[in-house]
Amino acid sequence: MSIETIIGKTVSRWMEGKGDFSDVVISSRIRLARNLEGYPFPNVLSESVAGEVITAVQDAVAKISHEPGPLEFFNLASLSALERFILVEKHLISPIHAESPVGRSVLLKEDQSVSIMVNEEDHLRIQCILPGLNLNDAWSFASQIDDLLEDTLNISYSEILGYLTACPTNVGTGLRASAMVHLPGLVLTHQVNLVLGLLPQLGLAVRGLYGEGSEIIGNLFQVSNQVTIGKTEEDILSNISAVVSQIVDREREARQAMLSEAKDQLEDKVWRAFGTLANARMMPAHEALTLLSDLRLGMDLGIITCPQPEVYNELIVITSPAYLQYLTGREMSAAALDVERAKLIRSRLCL
Amino acid sequence: MSIETIIGKTVSRWMEGKGDFSDVVISSRIRLARNLEGYPFPNVLSESVAGEVITAVQDAVAKISHEPGPLEFFNLASLSALERFILVEKHLISPIHAESPVGRSVLLKEDQSVSIMVNEEDHLRIQCILPGLNLNDAWSFASQIDDLLEDTLNISYSEILGYLTACPTNVGTGLRASAMVHLPGLVLTHQVNLVLGLLPQLGLAVRGLYGEGSEIIGNLFQVSNQVTIGKTEEDILSNISAVVSQIVDREREARQAMLSEAKDQLEDKVWRAFGTLANARMMPAHEALTLLSDLRLGMDLGIITCPQPEVYNELIVITSPAYLQYLTGREMSAAALDVERAKLIRSRLCL
């Protein structure tokens, strides 16, 4: 399996089919931070020792024969900058991992549901993404991989603190569970700050589409746990699942309130978004995400029945700058990218 | 022929077919101001004397057997306010004429190319509208009617001053010639003030879609002569025709410059307008005119080949508030009007 195969596959597993609450929850992600005993943390790792860590992980992964199925190894430094940034857009690696590729690598499952970053902030970042609200299955997958790796690798673990990590905020379970939620109803009814403002008190954080420090666009929010220590994995998962399902309820209420109180305005918003997406000849990335959000809302409320939600999931990834550059096979100006983005969106919406 | 027949006919003669320069000049209009000797001007006319003027005009019109064909008489006070405002939107009567209907009337030709307002600012306002730049034919029609009426009516005329009118600005020929021009190219390239700013020096005035004092919307401008005295009708017409054809040249140059320098942006603008018009569920009047202007520009440049320019001509009239109210047959809130306007536009654009 080449990087071209991974990248060329526009539809990742989390974009397909429907999970629970998939009218609001786009995807669920689990990330486990792990480190190998006897090696410094990656931020102080020389290139040669980083290579030793990578080799140890590769050997351990090679011994995994059954589930989660084959994981392909990629040395980040051997990928082009464009390829690395596409992996970021596909949520398979972090921006930090893409920006400094030397001594770093990633292991990927072909359906893009599993990725393992090696030598990011920690030696191992095991990640699993699934569609809808399904943190438990994502956790099972990630945990299974973790167990299989621990059969071979000597993982830093303290009986008192739990898993040891480069940053104290990950110590303990090393678990970050997050759900990407689409909240146009709460945004349009000006309730989003009220609802999401309660999350810090519940030990949860909110971020944008591309994680920490990223802007909120397209009404997409990532809700994740802040605290990784002092609780079991099960407690962390049940807390975030409960909160996310509360958010889903609020979002659905907001949507229904708009449908009953401002149906014309809502239908207008949805159809205008469709009309613009299906006809524009230049489409900036930010506007695309905003209009796709309106369109997705219309799909979820049955205002517009074609195209399907899967098209939305695919488009929010493949219309990102790096992926678009890859699809067209050449370096482009921002204006030329906008033309290609518009063309790609039209091809998906106008069948 | 009832007022319903006139009003129900959505397409007026000036909206059909193509005149000269019809990519820029929507319509040409001639208006002649005439007054009957022995009667005070309408602003000081009692209702009963106003009635005498109307009767005299009716009698004179009844004697016209051949061209311009039958002219139907309507007492404005017998029309509803809605019907009167539709006549304004169709450019058949002036806003002033619609607002104070008592003692006023109008004579209309079925194809809506000819209208004669009785007791507006002057006793007679003979008007003819044709498509494209065609002031000469419009003048011939209006003049022919004028001649036929003068066979019967005693028109106020001074050998020194020419035709006498209520307002000194109309004295002389009593002729107002105007062309409605669509100038998106000059507006988008920020040249419109420069080009139209020269007109006062050439004895011409610029107004909005609904005449004097009306706002500029949809990039539509009415260019007309300021001076009615000291020149022959032929001089007035050849002056305005020459200036308008210069404006047409500048507008075409601006459009071609945009096509060669900003083709993507231009195509984007046109297709977004189409997408929004063809999909919106609420469409305010002002936005409709703005988007229809973009769409019409695209039609004229061959960017979009369907719908045809005639659809634009029809839509700029039938999406006006009064006409829309008439089409739906009921009084509506502004929001409900926006819904109906969107529906009407979709029905014309999405075949």
Average pLDDT of the residues in A20-44: 94
Average pLDDT, chain A: 91
State how far the Cα of A269 lies from the Cα of A187, in Å rounded to an integer: 14
Are residues A25 and A141 both part of a single domain? yes
Are residues B289 and B140 both part of a single domain? no
Residue A320 is predicted with a pLDDT of 86
Choose one of A254, A284, A309: the last residue of a domain: A254
pLDDT above 70 (res A66): no
Place A294 in a pLDDT band, splitting at 50, 70 and 90: very high
What's the gap in Å between the CA of A248 and the closest CA on chain B?
27
Are residues A147 and A72 both part of a single domain? yes
Judging contacts by C-beta atoms under 8 Å, the chain A residues touching residue B339 are 264
Place A127 in a pLDDT band, splitting at 50, 70 and 90: very high
Collapsing DSSP states into helix, strand and coil, what is residue A70?
coil
Query: Least CB-CB distance to B276: which of A264, A272, A342?
Result: A272
Distances (CA, A) of B267 to A75, B53, B197, B345: 43, 54, 29, 21
Which of A86-100, B126-140, B288-302 has the lowest average pLDDT?
A86-100
CB contact under 8 A, B279 and A274: yes
Q: Which helix (H) or strand (E) holds B124?
A: strand B124-131
Residue B211 is predicted with a pLDDT of 62
Residue A68 is predicted with a pLDDT of 63
pLDDT above 90 (res A64): no
What part of B 256-295 touches A (C-beta under 8 Å)? 264-265, 267-268, 271-272, 274-282
Q: What are phi and psi of B171, to 5 degrees?
A: -60, 150
State how far the Cα of A259 lies from the Cα of B341, in Å rounded to an integer: 21
The ipTM of this complex is: 0.86
Query: Least CB-CB distance to B280: which of A272, A277, A339?
Result: A272
DSSP per-residue codes, A206-241: EEBTTBTT----TTEEEEEES--SSS-HHHHHHHHH
Nearest to A149 by CA among A192, A178, A193, A118: A118
Judging contacts by C-beta atoms under 8 Å, the chain B residues touching residue A339 are 264
Question: At A225, which CATH number?
Answer: 3.30.590.10
Following CA atoms A10, A14, A19, A21 in sequence, which dihedral angle do they give, to the nearest 10 degrees?
Answer: -100
Judging contacts by C-beta atoms under 8 Å, the chain A residues touching residue B268 are 280-282, 342
Contact present, B229 and B171 (Cβ < 8 Å): yes
pLDDT above 90 (res A251): yes
Residue type at position B56: A
State how far the Cα of A128 lies from the Cα of A145, in Å rounded to an integer: 10
Are residues A156 and A293 both part of a single domain? no
Please tell me if residue B331 touches chain A, with a CB cutoff of 8 Å. no
Tell me what percent of the residues of chain B surpass a pLDDT of 90. 70
Average pLDDT of the residues in B16-33: 89
Residues 6+ apart with CB under 8 A from A285: A319, A320, A321, A337, A341
Are residues A271 and A219 both part of a single domain? no
Average pLDDT, chain B: 91
Place A67 in a pLDDT band, splitting at 50, 70 and 90: low
Place B213 in a pLDDT band, splitting at 50, 70 and 90: low
Please tell me if residue A350 touches chain B, with a CB cutoff of 8 Å. no
Residue A212 is predicted with a pLDDT of 62
Judging contacts by C-beta atoms under 8 Å, the chain B residues touching residue A264 are 281-282, 335, 338-339
Are residues A141 and A74 both part of a single domain? yes
Tell me what percent of the residues of chain A surpass a pLDDT of 90. 70
Encoding tokens for residue B12?
């007026």
Residue B89 is predicted with a pLDDT of 84
Chain A residue with the nearest C-alpha to that of B266: A281
Please tell me if residue A205 touches chain B, with a CB cutoff of 8 Å. no
Place B90 in a pLDDT band, splitting at 50, 70 and 90: confident
Choose one of A201, A231, A254: the last residue of a domain: A254
Are residues A230 and A122 both part of a single domain? yes
Are residues B204 and B342 both part of a single domain? no
Query: What domain count does chain A have?
Result: 2
State how far the Cα of B192 lies from the Cα of B198, in Å rounded to an integer: 10
Question: Mind listing the pLDDT tens digit for each residue in A300-316?
Answer: 999 998 778 788 888 98
pLDDT above 80 (res B209): no
Q: Secondary structure of chain A: what % helix, strand, coil (to 5)? A: 50, 15, 35
Domain extent at residue A301: 262-348
CB contact under 8 A, A339 and B278: no
Are residues B207 and B291 both part of a single domain? no
pLDDT above 70 (res B210): no
State how far the Cα of A114 lies from the Cα of A129, in Å rounded to an integer: 7
Query: Least CB-CB distance to B275: which of A264, A278, A335?
Result: A278
pLDDT above 90 (res B10): no
Query: Least CB-CB distance to A276: which of B267, B275, B342?
Result: B275
Place B310 in a pLDDT band, splitting at 50, 70 and 90: confident
Average pLDDT of the residues in B287-300: 95
Question: Mind listing the pLDDT tens digit for each residue in A178-228?
Answer: 999 999 999 999 999 999 999 999 999 998 766 666 677 899 999 999 988
Are residues A235 and A266 both part of a single domain? no
State how far the Cα of B298 lies from the Cα of B317, in Å rounded to an integer: 19
CB contact under 8 A, B275 and A271: no
Distances (CA, A) of B165 to A157, B34, B121, B225: 101, 7, 8, 16
Chain A residue with the nearest C-alpha to that of B281: A268
Helix axes A47-62, A135-152, angle to 10 degrees: 110
Collapsing DSSP states into helix, strand and coil, what is residue B179?
strand
Residue B214 is predicted with a pLDDT of 65
Place A52 in a pLDDT band, splitting at 50, 70 and 90: very high
Chain A residue with the nearest C-alpha to that of B282: A268
Are residues A249 and A317 both part of a single domain? no
Choose one of B254, B274, B297: the last residue of a domain: B254
Residue B71 is predicted with a pLDDT of 87
In the block, which residue shows the tokens 């995994």?
A64
Are residues B187 and B277 both part of a single domain? no
CB contact under 8 A, A335 and B272: no
Residue A227 is predicted with a pLDDT of 86
